[in-house]
Structure 1
Amino acid sequence: MKRMIVTFNWSRGSRKWRNLLVTGRTFAIMSVSSMAFFVAIGLGDMLHQRTAASPVSTMKGFAANVSGSMFSDMLEMEVPAFTSEHQDSGSSVLSTKQVSAFLLQLVTDINPNNPQSLLARELPGLSSDEPFLIRKGSGNETAIGPEDHPPIPDNTPSGSNGNAGTGKGVAAPDSHDPIPDETDNTPETTVPDTNNPGSKDDPQTPPAVDSNPPADSTDEQLVFIYHSHNRESWFPVVGGNSDDPTSTKKNITLVGKRMATKLEELGIGASDSDYDYPTMIKNYKWVQSYKYSRQIVKEALSANKQLKYIFDIHRDSQKRKYTTTTINGKDYAQVFFIIGQENPDWRQNEKLATEIQKGLEAKYPGISRGIWGKTSKEGNGEYNQSLSTGSLLIEIGGVDNTLEESYRTADALAEVVADLYWGDAKKVSAPKES
């Protein structure tokens, strides 16, 4: 009897072990399959970063996911005179489905009409209304993005100590009118001469760069450099006691002048604008910076049909450890290219940024932080880049870099742009093989 009981217990134990092994095998298969799935996605994303010219998809922000009918219904509730044309006579205003979908996305960022949004937070590139690193530079292994901070308001009169904040509260001279709206085609008298890179006697002109006479040169003005945030400066320049590194004199416009000077010495016709928007524009508002600078770009394009490259030069708000690299024993301010994806042709602008970054990586490895894509969800989202496929926003260094480090990078950028132009020119002029 005892033997029978032992045998019975052993049989039950064996069945449990078999069940456990079957369960374990199933779990192992599922685990390996899941791991293979995410490894495949990761490899696909890596391949995409190396070969694709754009993120996986492009969305136009949160508003794009709210139906036009819902907006129309909301307007009809607030404006009695407005009647929604699409609304059926039997339909109710703001249906439960619309409201539920809207609230779900507001709270969770999940769009029930777009299953992709379920994975958008987990898989890189799927949530492209967020800032997105399109191409990583060798100088940005941690993939840290740029950082934007509006200047701290300062009521100090402009020019009193060279650190005038945003210029808010500083009245523009009566002789100057605001830059006209984008729809106004009337020539603006306050826009500076974009074909004059500045006098050599100008105290703001950076020192001459060392360069051999160019083998090639052109009399055409091919490059225009401007600054939407023209007063951006650096802590080492304005002093450590400042909370806001901006200046009316020693600012990012000096770097633009340096780059234009270097381009000229390399045989590339270039001009730069040091237009001081806070002083020259009545009721200046920092948030409208790109609206103001857009008029500068339009004037430059109107005056010169030969412009090939248009660069809006900024400095980042990130700290030194994210914006500096050492090359051959010298410190350089690193470069970050910003692409506005609200521009319908942004892939063409990105192509140019990719070509410049490739040249920088070859000559100055580690100087590029990469190419960063932005929509209007964070920032302007367009950055005047729809005006030209050769238009780029370039961040040079950050708040802790020195002017000397920024000059070195301006020289490097000029060299690569010149190489790119002359390389393309030789391709065009090369005789075709018969």
Structure 2
Amino acid sequence: MRRPKSQAGVYSLSKAKVQSTVMGLIAFIVMTFLIIAMLTTAENHSRFASSALNDWTAQMQSDWFVHLLGAENRYYLDAMHDPSPPSLTTAAFEIATNMNLEDPRTFLGREIPGFSGFDDTLVIAGQGTDFTNMSIESGPPAEEHLDELPETDEEASDAVEDDPPEIDDEEPIIHLLHSHSRESFLPEIEGGDPNHPETNIVQVGQYFADQLREHGLPVEVSEHDIQAKLNERDWDYSQSYDMSREILVEDMEENDELAFFFDLHRDSVAREHTTATINDDVYARTFFVIGEDHPDYEQNLAMAEDLHNRLEEQWPGLSRGVITRGGAGVNGVYNQDLSPNAMLIEFGGVDNTFEEVYRSADAMAEVLQEYIHEEMEEEE
């Protein structure tokens, strides 16, 4: 009688094992399909990749990584003011929530509309610059000005500065462009919309180019009306950098001597933050903006930091500083992936005048020509 019971027990055990195996196989198949679905339907910036890992670790305080290196090499810890390891609780909280207890912006950025505009990283803070007065990218022109086209008669041409001085036949090495070509200055125009199809940042680019030519540097200025080109394609204002990229790539293909690229803009913050008096002269302050959403942005950042430091040496307070900008809601590249010598420069704000901006352009041309000539000498 024991033998049948033993067979029944073996049969029962085998049946349970088979059921467990089948359920495990089904669970494995379901999980596989779920993972495949997540990987194939997620947006590019959400997929697991080296860039995603970089974004994830960027939320953690850098002290953690220094301490990890210090576990193997004590010299890393010697450079720290506080060699004690960070709190494990704090680290776990940052990983789980992407919130930094020492940065209140991480608590509010996802809850308050528009607050993400303060997510820029302030690499170098100029005099008086902090998170409350960071550079603000200008909005699109008012509805009634979107389709407005520049005049072409003689009266309109008078608004532009004198023709640039003649230079030799040497190919330009500097390219100036204006992705927001209609950004203007309220004291120079009528009305409350700081955008204008004729009187705008392009005139600053023309003046800046003249000063660089005076220092023997061949320059070309892109004077395209980006807004008009956006209208032609029925593109949104947020695609301004896509439009200027097409122009820039075409110009680079036509002239392989181009080596330095500057996208000139006008800031949107108030006059009190964009104006400085230096040696009894009033200047429109500058701000360097570097896009961090491309792998080689640190090369662009190094150049911006160098130019900021040079300005500070000769005109203390002229530069508002250097910031990096990236992530959701912004362009984050600004065509700077095309060259390590590309950057975006804000010249003044909505309440500055051309006279104040031109003084800043004089100073910027002085430090830039020093930088470029030094770079050219090193290459020789």
Same fold (TM > 0.5): yes
CA deviation vs aligned residue, 1:201-241 (integer Å, no higher than 9, x gap): 953542589x9xx9xx99341110000100000111123x4
Of 229, 252, 266, the match for 1:301 = 252
Aligned partner of 2:80 in structure 1 is: none
- TM-score, L = length of structure 1: 0.59
Query: Cα distance 1:70–1:315, how it changes in 2: closer, same or farther (>3 A)?
Result: farther
Q: CA deviation at 1:377?
A: 2.2
Aligned partner of 1:376 in structure 2 is: 327
Q: CA deviation at 1:141?
A: 6.2
- 2:100 is the alignment partner of 1:119: yes
Of 243, 254, 267, the match for 2:203 = 254
Structure 1: state its 5+ residue gaps: 1-67, 79-109, 163-200, 430-434
Aligned partner of 2:348 in structure 1 is: 397
Aligned partner of 1:206 in structure 2 is: 161
Contact 1:324 1:334 in 2 (8 A): yes
Of 100, 103, 124, the match for 1:135 = 124
Rounded to whole Å, the distance in 2 between the matches of 1:303 and 1:139 is 42
CA deviation vs aligned residue, 1:156-202 (integer Å, no higher than 9, x gap): 5524899xxxxxxxxxxxxxxxxxxxxxxxxxxxxxxxxxxxxxx95
Rounded to whole Å, the distance in 1 between the matches of 2:352 and 2:33 is 50
- 2:142 is the alignment partner of 1:153: yes
Query: Cα distance 1:205–1:153, how it changes in 2: closer, same or farther (>3 A)?
Result: closer
Rounded to whole Å, the distance in 2 between the matches of 1:312 and 1:123 is 32
CA deviation vs aligned residue, 1:283-330 (integer Å, no higher than 9, x gap): 132011110011111112111112121000000000000111011111
Aligned partner of 1:144 in structure 2 is: 133
Q: CA deviation at 1:149?
A: 3.6
Paired amino acid for 1:361: E
Query: Cα distance 1:328–1:152, how it changes in 2: closer, same or farther (>3 A)?
Result: same
Aligned partner of 1:225 in structure 2 is: 176
Aligned partner of 1:28 in structure 2 is: none
Aligned partner of 1:53 in structure 2 is: none
Paired amino acid for 2:123: I
Q: CA deviation at 1:282?
A: 2.6
Aligned partner of 2:301 in structure 1 is: 350
- Summarize the alignment of residues 231-380 of structure 1 with structure 2, pairs less than 5 Å apart: 231-239=182-190, 241-242=191-192, 244-280=193-229, 281-380=232-331
Query: Cα distance 1:261–1:340, how it changes in 2: closer, same or farther (>3 A)?
Result: same
Contact 2:289 2:325 in 1 (8 A): yes
Number of residues of Structure 1 aligned to a counterpart in Structure 2: 287
Paired amino acid for 1:114: I
Structure 2: state its 5+ residue gaps: 1-31, 43-90, 110-115
Q: CA deviation at 1:139?
A: 5.5
Query: Cα distance 1:348–1:124, how it changes in 2: closer, same or farther (>3 A)?
Result: farther
Which structure has the highest helix share of the two? 2
Contact 2:185 2:350 in 1 (8 A): yes
Q: CA deviation at 1:409?
A: 1.1
Rounded to whole Å, the distance in 2 between the matches of 1:252 and 1:121 is 38
Contact 1:218 1:268 in 2 (8 A): no
